[in-house]
């Protein structure tokens, strides 16, 4: 018996058993199923915003968190740039446009060899 046949037989057996249940039991099962389904839907709506509605301080914490994250991104992610490199470049023997030429790098490599 393969997996498909086993599943088919299992479903058939369950259906057969269900048909044999008395009306009162079926009604109780239906009632419980409705309650469970309604409960699931109710819980599905409990996102962060629902909690924020019930707990206003959660919104405040989120705002502070966002603020801190933004500050870290702006200030800590970029390397320290004091402008010294630009000053050296601007006051170098060669003018900056010499360094800006696309082939300077190739030329530099050729001279280095």
What Å distances lie between residue 11 and 6, 18, 103, 113, CA to CA?
Answer: 9, 10, 75, 79
Shortest distance in whole angstroms from residue 46 CB to another protein? 18
CB of 77 to another protein, least distance (A): 12
CA distances from 64 to 33, 54, 68, 70, 109 (A): 43, 18, 6, 10, 50
DSSP for 40-74? HHHHHT--HHHHHHH-HHHHHHHHHHHHHHHHHHH
Q: Is 36 or 63 the residue whose CB approaches another protein more closely?
A: 63
Region from 4-12, 19-27, 36-44, 99-107 binding another protein, contact rule CB under 8 A:
99-107
Site string for another protein, 50-79 (x = CB under 8 A): ------xx-xx--xx-xx--xx--x-----
Q: Which residues bind another protein (CB under 8 A)?
A: 56-57, 59-60, 63-64, 66-67, 70-71, 74, 81-102, 104-105, 107-108, 111-112
């Amino acid at each position: 018996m393969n997996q498909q046949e086993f599943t088919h037989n299992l479903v058939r057996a369950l259906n057969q058993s269900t048909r044999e249940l008395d009306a009162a039991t079926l009604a109780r099962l239906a009632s419980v199923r409705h309650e469970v389904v309604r409960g699931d839907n109710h819980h599905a709506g409990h996102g962060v915003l629902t909690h924020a509605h019930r707990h206003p301080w959660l919104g405040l914490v989120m705002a502070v968190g966002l603020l801190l994250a933004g500050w870290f991104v702006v200030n800590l992610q970029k390397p320290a740039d004091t402008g010294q490199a630009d000053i050296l470049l601007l006051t170098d023997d060669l003018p900056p446009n010499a360094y800006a030429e696309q082939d300077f790098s190739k030329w530099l490599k050729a001279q280095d060899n």
